[in-house]
Structure 1
Amino acid sequence: MRLVRYGRPGKEKPGLIDEEGKLRDLSGVIADVDAAVLAPKSLRKLEKIPHASLPLVRGNPRFGVPVARVGKFICIGLNYADHAAESGQPVPKEPIVFMKAISALNGPDDAIMLPQGSKKTDWEVELGVIIGTRAQYVSEADALKYVAGYTVVNDVSEREYQLERGGQWDKGKGCDTFGPVGPWLVTSEDLYDVQDLDLYLDVNGKRMQTGNTATMIFSVAQIVSYLSKFMTLEPGDVIATGTPPGVGMGRKPQRYLKKGDTLRLGIAGLGEQQAEVIAWTAKK
């Protein structure tokens, strides 16, 4: 099942993408795609609704972040060995954990805004994990039972802020619009193997990143279990699981985003994002 939130920013309605790829309205069934809906029992109830009975949505509305009221936006760094190598970093012995600000959340096709004075804004296509059940100290064997579904994340990063401004990665990760998520949430049972998904990212039509989740250093199950030992994971929390090689910082010469660039990125079975890079403007 592919769940979405569509409409103007702040006014999104819940919906789903049916078997024919058509957008159906869910607002007569649920108020939003939120923590209550992500519980296993609630998802099973939604799955049983005949999708053809739901109203069709006409046109091509904007998609928002597929989960409402995200509580935590957690990220894992250097989780692909070849990305660690291109970054000049050793392969981590334990997951590297940092946070993106909730205010960085962005619709999958919304514009990405360069921060004031930005010189090194970079791209990172990542598998996103959406928690469905409260998790504390869960085992690796049980960890995937706590996942509601998966999505596409672009962990946009300002490398100067991240690496040259006194430490703490968060400064280069949490700028406004630096967290595009979506287009949809694909529920867990609709993915055969989350550790065998192709990822890709293009800049201005040129392929920059190609990878597969099979080469992650720490699997989704390992990540969820690990994080649950340090913080309570709540329904609706989003985890970005790391990026494959091909980021701008790792290229020779280095290549960073500038106004007018376009991004196209996606993950097999999880949909695609397309965004334009714009100059900074005050967020309304």
Structure 2
Amino acid sequence: MRLATIRMSTANGDTTTAARIDGDGTATAIKGYADVGALLHEPEWARIAAHAEGGRLDFTEHDLAPVIPRPGKIICVGLNYAKHIDEMGHDRPDVPTLFIKYPEALIGARDDAEIPEFNSATLDFEGELAVVVGKHARHVREADAERYIAGYTVINDYTQRHFQKRTQQWHQGKSLEKTAGFGPWLDTDWRPGPTLTTTVNGEVMQHAPTDDLVFSPAKLVEFISHLYPLAPGDVIATGTPDGVGHARDPRRYLADGDTVRVEIEGLGHIQNTTRVLPTS
């Protein structure tokens, strides 16, 4: 089952609704839930979604809002693919490297990434698999972690490398407003293994299987839930493969008009164009 947050225009203005994807460009609204995050707070969310009868929706990719517009937590994992660890010049970690992204960074599956000119240097792409938590998780064992995962989606951990590298804490380069494509939907049946591919203007930059992780989704749920509880709708971005622009020679940073597409086989894709906005 695939669940999305779809934008709609009504007589009372623009709004969103949680929806069950039924086919290409068609969905069923899940009445009473403004987005997938709100739906996941219902203990019976899967049954509610499966039996939704809120009316047919016809939509385009541009109508897809961030699948969860305002997660309570977006926990990102750095250095989780061995080849990416090597290309960035780090040792393989013994425990996950975590940092936080805020909801203001998220954009929809086909929205533009809007960057003020003063923040527009050394912009980089990081295609990633994202885990969405489906129920309250505290002190979860790895063997039980799958029961706490609602499903998977795609995210771009869009990064300003100069900001990231100027201190030992990465967050300031990782949470720029309106940059991180997130979607297109939550897939409750998909499982890690198929390939993630990131392209820039059609050129392949990243290509790796999504189960080639140092720390698996189950291990991440275990580790993080022993630090603090995870809530329904929380998101774990599992890390990026090798091939990022910062590690290339010459380096390949994003400029105005560059389009980044992140696709995971069987899961879907996001495609976002960088727009550098002039500032006075």
TM-score (norm 2): 0.91
Letter in 1 for 2:114: M
Summarize deviations over 1:29-55 as a string: whole Å, max 9, x none. 6443224435562213322457xx841
2:277 maps to 1:280: yes
* Cα deviation, residue 103, structure 1: 1.2
Partner residue, 1:140: 142
Measure the CA separation in 1 of the matches of 2:229 and 2:38: 14
2:244 maps to 1:251: no
Measure the CA separation in 1 of the matches of 2:154 and 2:60: 23
**How does 1:226-237 map onto structure 2 within 5 Å?**
226-237=223-234
Mark the runs of 5 or more structure 2 residues left unpaired by the alignment.
none
Partner residue, 2:5: 5
Partner residue, 2:20: 16
Summarize deviations over 1:79-131 as a string: whole Å, max 9, x none. 00000101111111110000012211111211112342432110000000111
Q: Secondary structure at the match of 1:223?
A: helix
Measure the CA separation in 2 of the matches of 1:69 and 1:277: 22
Cα separation, partners in 2 of 1:108 and 1:177, compared to 1, 3 Å: same
Measure the CA separation in 1 of the matches of 2:15 and 2:101: 23
Measure the CA separation in 2 of the matches of 1:57 and 1:67: 20
- The farther-off stretch of 265-274 and 200-209 is 265-274
Measure the CA separation in 2 of the matches of 1:171 and 1:128: 20
Measure the CA separation in 1 of the matches of 2:278 and 2:270: 22
Query: Identity over the aligned pairs, expressed in percent?
Result: 39
* Cα deviation, residue 28, structure 1: 3.2
* Kept after mapping to 1: 8 A contact 2:17/2:31: no
Measure the CA separation in 2 of the matches of 1:98 and 1:183: 23
Q: Secondary structure at the match of 1:225?
A: helix
**How does 1:120-269 map onto structure 2 within 5 Å?**
120-164=122-166, 166-187=167-188, 190-191=189-190, 193-194=191-192, 196-269=193-266
Q: Secondary structure at the match of 2:184?
A: coil
TM-score (norm 1): 0.89
* Cα deviation, residue 256, structure 1: 0.2
* Kept after mapping to 1: 8 A contact 2:260/2:271: yes
Mark the runs of 5 or more structure 1 residues left unpaired by the alignment.
none
Cα separation, partners in 2 of 1:101 and 1:45, compared to 1, 3 Å: closer
Cα separation, partners in 2 of 1:24 and 1:117, compared to 1, 3 Å: closer
RMSD: 2.1
* Cα deviation, residue 280, structure 1: 3.2
Cα separation, partners in 2 of 1:54 and 1:273, compared to 1, 3 Å: same
Letter in 1 for 2:70: R
Summarize deviations over 1:194-225 as a string: whole Å, max 9, x none. 2x121001101101110112211000000011
